[in-house]
Chain A
Amino acid sequence: MLTFVVRRLLLAVPVLLGVVFVVMLTVDLLPGDAVTLMLGEHATKDAVARLRDHLGLDKPFLVRYLDYVGRVARGDLGRSIQQNRPVGDELADAWPATLQLTVAALLVATVVGLAAGITSAVWPNSLFDAMARLGSLFGLSMPVFWTGLVLIVVFALWLNWLPVGGAGSLGHLVLPTVTLALPSVAMIARMTRSAVLDVLREDYVRTARAKGVAEPWVLARHALRNAFIPILTLLGLQSGQLMGGAVLTETVFAWPGLGRLMVKAIFARDYVLLQGAVLVFALAFVVINLLVDLSYGLLDPRVGRQG
């Protein structure tokens, strides 16, 4: 078990190195000079040169890359260009809000998506099934940012039940969570339906029914347990979608998280901060999928852990 975890963690290293490489390379390909953009067009040659030197921009790309990786390995993410604060501090301020939002959304999406998907699979082609399938296509087609705005108009403006944006109370969390969860609810419901339908066709389910096992028990003990494996894989991938959605949701609701920080960093051309934020997202994604891989073993004894 421990070897498996260690091996998977080691496999994550090249992924993270690759992500940093791609982000740094794309920033490097920036049209125009990043420093001139930062200082404005009227900056003196001297100031530009000093900032270039300070940021290490006059060194070749590979040197800068290795430099950055080396510093990150020692826990130093650099200083943000705009605020001149350690990037680590800025990220530490922002990530709890994003974690709160994405975990809430993932919980809602999982509970609602599973319930809808299982109901659909147990009564396929029923009215509920038809509605749920149509509903999930709508869920997949609604732009996250638009859903958020519509919810604000209905629940904050017309009904006056919930706040328009910002963070603080439980009420602030409701609309962003629903907004962010909606596409994932749709994906999970679709996936659950087809996974449970597949399992219900298996011989062992027929056997269980034939020997007189009560239907709810067949569902819980035999069908769901096996259907959970593809669903779990999807949950891991959905966490990535949620992070992307968080960027939009946080922007719509002025939620003080990593996504908003990242958008701000892009507009300010603060690439040190941008790299740090992307790295945190990538790390979170890798860790979540590691957890998903680990839980396969808990659900399915057949899954060996040879990795």
Chain B
Amino acid sequence: MDAWGRFRRNRLALIGLALVAVLAASAVLAPWLAPYDPARQSLIEKRAKPGGKYVLGADEFGRDILSRVIYGSRVALLVGLLSAAIAVAGGLLLGTLAGFSGGWLDALLMRGIEILLAFPYLLLALAIVAALGPGALNTTIAVGIWGVPAVTRIVRGSVLALRETEYVGAARALGAPVFALLRRHILPNIVPGLIVYATLFMANAILLEAALSFLGLGVQPPTASWGLMVSTGRDVLLVAPHVATVPGLAIMLTVLAFNFVGDGLRDALDPRLRGSG
């Protein structure tokens, strides 16, 4: 059975895919879907309860939470996609370099990677954001850097394994440049693994962005970021619990969707890994 056939039989993966589709649609169509301007304040309606005029209620400035959740999907998806791109690009570069060069450069790179992998991820991201300063772009960079070590390991392992195969040996003997080897022989072999990794990484990247924004070190106000919304809602938690809990629900559903899709992709693309992890 082909990969799509296997994927389609996984009910959770399909639910996840549907959720991701809804999310992508809400990010793209936010200006048309949102019932109100996400920045419009209405001080007489602040902390309005869910139901009535505001379906999901209003926050402490009287801003419509539903509209802000819809606009927040833009931040979550953008940070997730861009940081995954940074992780894959950085990992491809370093992994290829380490795998093909060997020797001391390989040893040095891999030692550095081990240190990074060993380091608690939130602390690493905190250190990077503390250095770069808060903001959406710096958060994306910090989250992306966090993903680089794992991709580097995947790529290097595959380069090392394929370097020894006869067809890559033959291609090298014929004088194929490293870039051509990478594109023609190495990449096709690792793309399925990278897609699975990138999908599961998106789930964690969105969680990490939310965490950094919650701490006040990620996306800055007045941008509608889910983590930031939970953070500001925390101040009114005891009088209006919905202000903090509703955006958190959006984070959870989004992360859950990417986890469902990632698990499904792993089982479909790489049956050897089925049920592991």
Contacts and interface: CB of A to CB of B under 8 A. Distances in A.
Contacts of A14: 111
Contacts of B114: 15
A145 B130 contact: no
A263 B214 CA distance: 11
A245 B126 CA distance: 12
A240 B241 contact: no
Given A26-B128, A143-B210, A194-B277, A248 B122 contact: yes
A244 B237 contact: no
What bracket does the count of chain A residues touching chain B fall in? 35 or more
Given A143-B227, A143-B248, A26 B241 contact: no
Interface of B (DSSP majority class) = helix
Nearest to B274: A194
A29 interface: yes
B126 A247 contact: yes
Contact of A141 (B216, B244, B255): B255
B276 interface: yes
Contact of A22 (B122, B127, B133, B241): B127
A197 interface: yes
Given A23-B127, A164-B238, A143 B259 contact: no
A19 B115 contact: yes
Contacts of A144: 211
Contacts of A153: 237, 241, 245
B14 to A, nearest CB: 15
A190 B276 CA distance: 8
Contacts of B115: 15, 18-19, 22
Interface string B221-245: 0000001001101100110010011
Interface stretch (A40-48, A168-176, A214-222, A281-289): A281-289
Contacts of B120: 240-241, 243-244, 281, 285
Contacts of B207: 141, 143
Interface string A21-42: 0110011111110000000000
Contact of A146 (B203, B248, B263, B276): B248
Interface residues of B, number: 49
B275 interface: yes
Contacts of A152: 237
A282 B133 CA distance: 22
Nearest to B248: A146
A273 to B, nearest CB: 11
A137 interface: yes
A274 B259 CA distance: 33
Contact of B238 (A157, A245, A282, A286): A157
Nearest to A21: B115
B21 interface: no
Given A143-B210, A244-B123, A27 B275 contact: no
A290 to B, nearest CB: 12
B127 A26 contact: yes
Contacts of B251: 143, 146
Contact of A247 (B215, B230, B237, B263): B215
A141 B260 CA distance: 10
A263 B119 contact: no
B121 A146 contact: no
Nearest to A158: B241
A119 to B, nearest CB: 16
Contacts of B276: 194
A197 B277 CA distance: 12
B99 to A, nearest CB: 22
A262 interface: yes
A49 to B, nearest CB: 23
B126 A145 contact: no
A123 to B, nearest CB: 15
Interface in A1-26: 14-15, 18-19, 22-23, 26
A247 B210 contact: no
B259 A140 contact: yes
A247 B238 contact: no
Contacts of A137: 12, 256, 259-260, 263
Interface of B: 12, 111-112, 114-115, 118-123, 126-133, 203, 207, 210-211, 214-217, 227, 230-231, 233-234, 237-238, 241, 244-245, 248-249, 251-252, 255-256, 259-260, 263, 275-277
Given A140-B203, A281-B123, 15 more contacts: A15-B118, A28-B131, A31-B132, A137-B260, A143-B227, A143-B248, A149-B233, A149-B241, A243-B120, A243-B123, A247-B215, A248-B122, A248-B211, A262-B123, A274-B130
14 contacts: A23-B127, A27-B131, A138-B252, A142-B255, A145-B227, A145-B230, A145-B248, A146-B230, A149-B237, A244-B121, A247-B126, A248-B215, A267-B216, A285-B120
Leading 3 A-B pairs by shortest Cβ distance = A244-B122, A146-B248, A26-B131
Interface of A: 14-15, 18-19, 22-23, 26-32, 134, 137-138, 140-146, 149-150, 152-153, 157, 164, 190-191, 194, 197, 240-241, 243-245, 247-248, 251-252, 262-263, 266-267, 271, 274, 278, 281-282, 285-286, 289
